[in-house]
Amino acid sequence: MSYYASILSDERLIRLFEYLVKTGKDVLIPEYDPNHGHTYNDIIDIGIPHDHVFELISKIITLGLGKAEYYDQILRCPYCNSEHIRVYFYCPFCNSTQLYKELLIEHIRDGVIGPISKFKSQNGTLVCPSCGNKLITEGKDYRVVGVWYRCLVCYRQTDLPKIMYRCRICKKEVTAHGLVISSISKIIINKSALEEFSRQHLAIRPIIEELKEMKFSINSPGTLIGKSGTTHKFDIIGINDKGEIIAIDILTSTEPISETTIISTFVKALDVNVKKLVIIAIPALTEGGKKLAQSYGINVLEGKTISEIITSLKSILISSSP
């Protein structure tokens, strides 16, 4: 199954790939949502419910439309698997969470160490409680040597509080040893799938629909047998009610397309017998490409949008009708 056929199998994939082509994105980055945990906002933005996001991500990977690559670590509750985890610091002596945190600093000159509150004067400046000298510059007069926690219930002090992790969902607590460590991936979209979708869905399909309105029967992709007996493939083959054939190749790029890129179409032009042979170049051909196409009698249509192309194509077909 082609990438395009895989995308067409699910209307949600069509919406996603339309969005990706429009925005120029080729990576889905997970983000944290306070209500739902990590999710993919690009998928949410196209109207997919939160509870369907990861099912769609799984489908993208299964169909080969993208691949998962490690992005970030997630800590989960071992009881309910929630990632809504909150960290609590407890007093190791009385188990209270009412802790006051202070920096421990050292007066470099005389080696006095204590909580920063012991060094603060009434006007807020730092003064050594031992020698009375002002401590102005960190790293020169004083340095931070640690952190001190004081319990506001039992008034004992520690440099190592008890750390617990509480689940916001089930309210259970665990230590770091009990946490489940998992990961979240970014999804790198298959560039070949993006390119195929862009050509088929955003360029080829509108042209096919327009040709059908003009009463052409369509094969896409289509093949023609040349004078040499070689079978040549075109993006679109259209046949009108008079049996006249139009063959179309569609080329897309972010920059003007050179003659070397379309040499295969020139080879086909020499071998097939059609009423019209058309190259559609989005956004444009180089001047060299246009001159070469003209020398082979190939019609060139250029435009930044497919609507521009369709207007020009209709003009060519109408002008060529008897």
Q: Residue 219 is inside which H or E element, if any?
A: strand 217-219
Q: Residue 270 is inside which H or E element, if any?
A: helix 263-271
CA-nearest of 260, 226, 232 to 248 is 232
Q: Please give the span between the terminal C-alpha atoms of the chain, in angstroms, as a whole number.
A: 41
Strand-pair partners of 157? 150
Please state whether beta strands 245-252 and 276-282 pair in parallel, antiparallel, or not at all (unpaired). parallel
- Measured CA to CA, the distance from residue 290 to residue 302 in angstroms comes to 10
Q: Is 79 exposed, middle or buried (0-12, 13-18, 19+ CB in 10 A)?
A: middle
In this structure, are residues 212 and 218 in contact, taking their beta carbons and an 8 Å threshold? yes
Tokens 């506001």, located at residue: 152
What's the pLDDT score for residue 65? 98
SS3 of 101-144: the string is EEEEEEECCCCCEEEHHHHECCCCCEECCCCCCECCCECCCEEE
Please state whether beta strands 142-151 and 99-107 pair in parallel, antiparallel, or not at all (unpaired). antiparallel
Tokens 């020139």, located at residue: 266
DSSP 98: -
What's the pLDDT score for residue 322? 43
- Measured CA to CA, the distance from residue 286 to residue 299 in angstroms comes to 14
What's the pLDDT score for residue 304? 79
- Measured CA to CA, the distance from residue 67 to residue 26 in angstroms comes to 11
Domain ranges of the chain: 3-74+182-189, 92-160, 194-320
What's the pLDDT score for residue 310? 86
DSSP 34: T
- Measured CA to CA, the distance from residue 299 to residue 316 in angstroms comes to 8
Residues with Cβ within 8 Å of residue 64, at least 6 apart in sequence:
3, 6, 190, 193
Architecture of domain 194-320: 3-Layer(aba) Sandwich (3.40)
pLDDT along the chain (322 residues), means of 10: 88 95 94 94 96 97 98 97 96 97 94 93 92 93 95 95 97 97 98 89 87 92 92 93 91 77 81 90 86 86 83 77 47
- Measured CA to CA, the distance from residue 24 to residue 148 in angstroms comes to 50
Q: Is 298 exposed, middle or buried (0-12, 13-18, 19+ CB in 10 A)?
A: buried
